[in-house]
Structure 1
């Protein structure tokens, strides 16, 4: 099975943005960062700020993760500022659709990203992962990511 990254098309982007805005709001509430009543508004604002020109926002790359040249298995979004002093890109989003999880495709997709990023002149990839997402944390550790900052909270 072969995984490739292809530029996201406008129809895919619209669906992606609708889904990811809701998902991000839920995750921020689950993490205790946002209140439920404010989450959707804050999530919409976040994506509007990050992608003011949608797919055409400078230095943002949104790809569909394609399995065997035909099935869309998920998505991947990075921001890569060409003049970054560490030649670093930030992974804003990475995910596989439910039916593609647990089959090794995530590791293949991250390997494809490594190759694509290297070809773009990127020398460092960074990302944020919610602490409660143990599956994602394990995946990132297994593919070479290391913790660089840890934010901790407690409820009083």
Structure 2
């Protein structure tokens, strides 16, 4: 079993580095950004969405921790805002560290997020998944997420 634990500053610094790098890489893979500017654009995006870092209002950053050994197996970041029908959460990043992938921790983290969101009176959770990330896409479908729109492209 896992639990969500609020990130501390040291973990947040690791998260920022990892998440910024991963986001830049995914944007390049998807064809949205050029490799030369990807890290700069990713850092700008992170600053825009987390202007006060770990203390950004409405941002929730958690370590995903295995209860038995108190082992950090990943992290999750979501923001909560007021939406058209009430409070809404949006998952900006969820990552299970490679040694722990494929062992059910992603699913457990999503379930723990659902519980946390319910405590916050969140009515809806949204997320974005890159088209090339089929593993995540399949997990999200299993967890009850439905496609809301699709953007497609092809190389000529």
CA distance in 2, matches of 1:58, 1:95: 22
For 1:68-123, what per-residue CA distance to the aligned partner results, in whole angstroms no more than 9, with x for missing partners? 15100000000101x32322110000010001111111111111110110010001
CA distance in 2, matches of 1:119, 1:85: 19
Q: Which residue of structure 1 lines up, in the alignment, with residue 93 of structure 2?
A: 93
Give TM-score scaled by structure 2 length. 0.96
CA distance in 2, matches of 1:99, 1:105: 11
Q: Secondary structure at the match of 1:77?
A: strand
**Unpaired segments ≥5 residues, structure 2:** none
Q: Which residue of structure 2 lines up, in the alignment, with residue 142 of structure 1?
A: 142
Q: Which residue of structure 1 lines up, in the alignment, with residue 76 of structure 2?
A: 76
CA distance in 2, matches of 1:115, 1:20: 24
Give TM-score scaled by structure 1 length. 0.96
Higher share of residues assigned strand: 2
CA distance in 1, matches of 2:61, 2:92: 9
**Counterparts in 2 of 1:8-47, with a 5 A limit?**
8-47=7-46
Q: Secondary structure at the match of 1:114?
A: helix
CA distance in 1, matches of 2:5, 2:150: 32
Residues paired across the two proteins, number: 154
**Unpaired segments ≥5 residues, structure 1:** none
Q: Which residue of structure 1 lines up, in the alignment, with residue 64 of structure 2?
A: 65
Q: CA RMSD in A?
A: 0.9
Q: Secondary structure at the match of 1:76?
A: strand
- Larger deviation, residues 61-70 vs 89-98: 61-70
The alpha carbon displacement at 1:155 in A equals: 2.0
